[in-house]
Structure 1
Amino acid sequence: MSKKKQGLNTICTHVGEIKDEQFKGAVSPIYLSTSYEFDGVDVKRYPRYFNTPNQEFLAKKIAALEHTETAMIFSSGMAAISHMFLAFLQKGDHIVVQNTLYGGTSNFIREEFHKYGIDYTFTNGYAVSDFEAAIQSNTKLIHIETPSNPLLTITDIKGVADLAKSKGIVTTIDNTFASPVNQNPIDFGIDIVMHSATKYLGGHSDISAGAVASSAAHMDRIWNVSKNLGGNLSDMTVWMLERSMKTLALRVKAQNKNARKLAKFLDKHEAIARVYYPGLKSHPEHQLAKEQMHDFGAMLSFELVDGIDAMAFMKQLNLIKPSMSLAGVESTMLLPSKTSHSLLTQEQRDAVGISDQLIRFSVGIETFRDLKIDIEHAIINTKTTSFA
Structure 2
Amino acid sequence: MASEQKGTNTICTHTGSVEDKLYKGATSPLYMSTSYAFEEVDVKRYPRYFNTPNQEALGKKLAALEHTEKAMIFGSGMAAISTALMTFLQAGDHIIFQQTLYGGTYNFAVTQLERFGISYSFTDGWRASDFEKEIRSNTKVIYVETPSNPLLTITDLNGVAEVAKRHGIMTMIDNTFASPINQNPVDFGIDLVIHSATKYMGGHSDICAGVIASTEENMEKVFQTAICFGGSLSDYTVWLLERSLKTMGLRVKAQNSNAQRIATYLEQSPDIEKVYYPGLMKHPDHELAKAQMKDFGGMLSFELNQEIDVTLFFKHLKLIKPSMSLAGVESTVSSPVKTSHALMSPEDRTKQGIKDSLVRFSLGIEDFEDLKGDIEQAIAKVKSMRVHA
What code does the residue aligned with 2:335 have?
L
2:193 — aligned with what? 193
Report the Cα distance in structure 2 between the residues aligned to 1:374 and 1:236, rounded to whole angstroms. Answer: 36
What code does the residue aligned with 2:55 have?
Q
1:85 — aligned with what? 85
Q: SS at the partner of 2:141?
A: strand
Q: SS at the partner of 2:349?
A: helix
Report the Cα distance in structure 2 between the residues aligned to 1:37 and 1:386, rounded to whole angstroms. Answer: 68
Number of aligned residues:
388
Q: CA deviation at 1:42?
A: 1.1
What code does the residue aligned with 2:149 have?
N
Q: CA deviation at 1:40?
A: 1.4
Q: Deviations over 1:236-289 (max 9, x none)?
A: 000000000000000000100011000000000000000000000000000000
1:372 — aligned with what? 372
Report the Cα distance in structure 2 between the residues aligned to 1:387 and 1:92, rounded to whole angstroms. Answer: 59
- After TM superposition, list the pairs within 5 Å mapping 1:136-155 onto structure 2: 136-155=136-155
Determine if the alignment matches structure 1 residue 281 to structure 2 residue 288. Answer: no
2:250 — aligned with what? 250
Report the Cα distance in structure 2 between the residues aligned to 1:337 and 1:229, rounded to whole angstroms. Answer: 30
Determine if the alignment matches structure 1 residue 352 to structure 2 residue 329. Answer: no
Report the Cα distance in structure 2 between the residues aligned to 1:85 and 1:176, rounded to whole angstroms. Answer: 16
Q: CA deviation at 1:4?
A: 2.2
Q: CA deviation at 1:155?
A: 0.2
Q: CA deviation at 1:133?
A: 0.4
Determine if the alignment matches structure 1 residue 162 to structure 2 residue 162. Answer: yes
Identity value in percent:
62
Q: Deviations over 1:62-95 (max 9, x none)?
A: 0000000000000000000000000000000000
Report the Cα distance in structure 2 between the residues aligned to 1:80 and 1:2, rounded to whole angstroms. Answer: 26
In structure 1, stretches of 5+ residues that fail to align are: none
1:231 — aligned with what? 231
Q: CA deviation at 1:379?
A: 0.6
Report the Cα distance in structure 2 between the residues aligned to 1:98 and 1:348, rounded to whole angstroms. Answer: 13
Report the Cα distance in structure 2 between the residues aligned to 1:23 and 1:385, rounded to whole angstroms. Answer: 62
What code does the residue aligned with 2:367 have?
T
Report the Cα distance in structure 2 between the residues aligned to 1:112 and 1:140, rounded to whole angstroms. Answer: 17
Report the Cα distance in structure 1 between the residues aligned to 2:319 and 2:105, rounded to whole angstroms. Answer: 30
Report the Cα distance in structure 2 between the residues aligned to 1:362 and 1:72, rounded to whole angstroms. Answer: 26
Q: SS at the partner of 2:300?
A: strand
1:294 — aligned with what? 294
- After TM superposition, list the pairs within 5 Å mapping 1:98-137 onto structure 2: 98-137=98-137
What code does the residue aligned with 1:285 have?
D
Q: CA deviation at 1:220?
A: 0.8
What code does the residue aligned with 2:363 have?
V
1:46 — aligned with what? 46
Report the Cα distance in structure 1 between the residues aligned to 2:236 and 2:368, rounded to whole angstroms. Answer: 34
1:180 — aligned with what? 180
8 Å CA contact 1:309, 1:386 repeated in 2: no
Q: SS at the partner of 1:284?
A: coil
Q: Deviations over 1:196-248 (max 9, x none)?
A: 00000000000000000000000011110010010000000000000000000
Report the Cα distance in structure 2 between the residues aligned to 1:37 and 1:165, rounded to whole angstroms. Answer: 44
Q: SS at the partner of 1:171?
A: strand
TM-score w.r.t. the length of structure 1 is 0.99
Q: SS at the partner of 2:374?
A: helix
Q: CA deviation at 1:307?
A: 1.7
What code does the residue aligned with 2:218 have?
H
8 Å CA contact 1:207, 1:241 repeated in 2: yes
Q: CA deviation at 1:39?
A: 1.1
In structure 2, stretches of 5+ residues that fail to align are: none
What code does the residue aligned with 1:375 have?
I
RMSD: 0.8
1:266 — aligned with what? 266
Report the Cα distance in structure 1 between the residues aligned to 2:57 and 2:198, rounded to whole angstroms. Answer: 18
Q: SS at the partner of 2:29?
A: coil
After superposing on structure 2, the runs of 4+ consecutive aligned residues of structure 1 that deviate more than 2 Å are: none
2:5 — aligned with what? 5
Report the Cα distance in structure 1 between the residues aligned to 2:315 and 2:123, rounded to whole angstroms. Answer: 36
Q: SS at the partner of 1:10?
A: helix
Report the Cα distance in structure 1 between the residues aligned to 2:221 and 2:140, rounded to whole angstroms. Answer: 14
